[in-house]
Every structure is written in structure tokens, then in C-alpha cells.
Copies of this chain bind each other. A is one copy, B any other.
Amino acid sequence: MTYKYDNVYIKDTYTICGMYEKDGPLGKYFDRKYDNDLYYKQKSWEKAEIKLLKDNLKFLLKKVNLTEDDINLVISGDLENQLAASDYALREYNIPFLGIFNACATSAEGLIIGSTFIDSKKVDNCIVATVSHNMSAEKQFRNPTEYGTPKPKTATFTATGAASALLTSEKSDIKIESSTIGRVIDMGISDVNHMGAVMAPAAADTIYRHLNSLGRDPSYYDLILTGDLGIYGKNILLEYLKKQYKLDISKNYNDCGVMLYDLDKQPVLAGGSGPVCSALVNFGYILKQMKNKNLKRVLIVPTGAIFSPTMTFQKETIPAIAHAVSLEVVS
């Protein structure tokens, strides 16, 4: 399903990144850098992740000069089991809360739900947020890093940071123009170290349905931006779109997992992942490019591998999903 919106705007965003993201090519675009270590004076990785989101919401409110009483709704999700980072960060705020989960596509899911609330005139504003932490994700999904488990080059690196966007019905310089909700796609891949291959077909399905339902050519957009397929997944997507859908998006396409880090110099293998990876790139870098009118129409397509370690231990393959959100500079 593809929906168009008339009155949904992104008022402002706030981004906090960790040390690896700060050292990447987009580091200077993030509002705040937590670069001393990955603990942030907390006693566990999980509590450090909660702090990232709690701080992010605090600094977003400060940036837009609002208090929690001014905010109608927060929609947030993360990778921790039971969305612990969002749940525990939100107990510090007296704001109605909806918890969501589509793995690394969570920020897009949040933008779509938030846009619908504003479009239906139920709320005047809402915050869409997400967070991830490299160490808490490694511990939960792979192995504690102390084990030193080697990884193949197709593996991705979970980004550390928090990102949020304030959506409003009040006109601003960037609007959420339309969106397409993804379907669950499972092509039978069970390699947890090759999420790019797992997620590329879901991204292809959503990009194709989005363009097709609106009768748009890829050139309608200045940029189509998946997140986070990584360098191998990026190439798989381009090939797959050509072969299965006769669609060539190579002229104006990039991937957030590839953009967030310097893949030649940083120890991130195939690129970034985690729900905050695409949210940092989109909310931190892309929106600034749009405010400067360097980009006018961007289709962001965050991608998520919605598997659980329990299911892969039971020899299951990995389902994926991708949602598309069209952002436009208001002329």
C-alpha cells in the first residue's frame, strides 16, 4: 500500500553518534558525538543504549524549544529484546508511547505510523525515534565481543547512536510526501552474516511497488537510499531490480550502511547496520542536504532483517522487510 500525505512535515531532528560514526565521513553532520568510550558512564551496554535515547529526546526538545507536555506522542523501537532501550528511556517522559519493531527498518515504520496520526489530524506533532548500540547488539545477536569471534566480510557492523525526528502538521521546509509499507519477504537465506543478501529482495519489492503504484520513474527522485544493505547487498539490490523488475536505479542510488563509515579504513566489514544506521544518515545528513536544497526529492528505504536468534538456532531462514518514505523539499 502506498499513501500520499498533504500536511505532514519534519520540523527538526536530533542525532547522537558513537565514536565509530563520528570518525566516518558523515561524522560532522551529527548533533552530538559520544566519543570517549561506549559505556557513557553506565554500568552495562544496555544502560548505555537507554542513555543514548533518553539524552536524544532531551536534546531534541531543547533544540526545538518545547517541553514534554507539548509533545502528543512518541513512537520508538530498537533491537533490544522487548524494546528495552525504548521502554526504559520513555519511562523518564510523560508522553504517550507506542513501541514498534521492524528491526533496522524501524525508523521508517515510525515515520509511516507518525505521518498517519498527523494526516488523520489526531495529533499535531509526534516524535519518531530509534536507537542502537554496537555492543548490546553483538551480545544479544552474535557473541559477546570478548570472545573475539571472527566474521566474514559480508557481515555488517551495528551502528551506535540515537536519532529522532519531530513530525508536525505545521508547515516546515521538508514534507513527508508519501510512503509504502513493506511485506515480509523470505528468500530462504539463513546466513546471519549476510544480511545484505537477506534484505535486498525486500527492498526491491518495496521500491518496485512504490514507483509502480505512483507511476514514477526512478529519476523522479534525486536519490533512492536503502539502509542498511552494506556494500554486497547494495550490488545485489541493483542486479536484482534489473533482473526481476527491469528497473535500473543505479544512477541515483546509494545505501546508508555504505555511507555511514569509511569502508576502506574502518573495521566495519560490509558497512553499517542497526536501526540507527539509516536514521543517522537520513535524519542527520540527508535532511541537511535537503534543507540546503542540494537534494529535493529523496526516497528513503530502511531495510530490516526481522529474525530472532532463537529461530536461527532452530535452522529457520531469515525474513526481511523494507518500508519506503518519500521526502520532499517544500517549494
Q: Residues on A close to B: CB < 8 A?
A: 1, 3, 43-44, 46-47, 72-73, 77, 79-84, 87-88, 90-91, 93-103, 109, 112-113, 116-117, 119-120, 122-123, 140, 181-186, 306-311, 314, 316, 319, 321
Contacts and interface: CB of A to CB of B under 8 A. Distances in A.
Contacts of A307: 82, 84, 87
Given A101-B82, A116-B122, A311 B88 contact: yes
A73 B321 CA distance: 14
B101 A77 contact: yes
Contacts of A186: 91
A165 to B, nearest CB: 18
Contacts of A93: 183-184
A75 to B, nearest CB: 9
A176 to B, nearest CB: 13
B1 A184 contact: no
Contact of A119 (B43, B90, B120): B120
Contact of A1 (B47, B122, B319): B122
A97 B95 CA distance: 25
Contacts of A1: 72-73, 96, 122-123
Contacts of A99: 100-102, 109, 306
Contact of A310 (B81, B183, B310): B81
Contacts of A103: 82
A95 B181 CA distance: 9
Contacts of A321: 97
A40 to B, nearest CB: 15
Contacts of A83: 101, 306
30 contacts: A1-B72, A1-B73, A1-B96, A44-B314, A81-B81, A81-B82, A81-B308, A81-B310, A84-B311, A87-B184, A87-B307, A87-B319, A88-B311, A88-B316, A90-B184, A90-B319, A91-B186, A93-B183, A93-B184, A96-B181, A97-B321, A98-B100, A98-B113, A98-B181, A99-B100, A100-B100, A116-B117, A116-B120, A116-B122, A140-B310
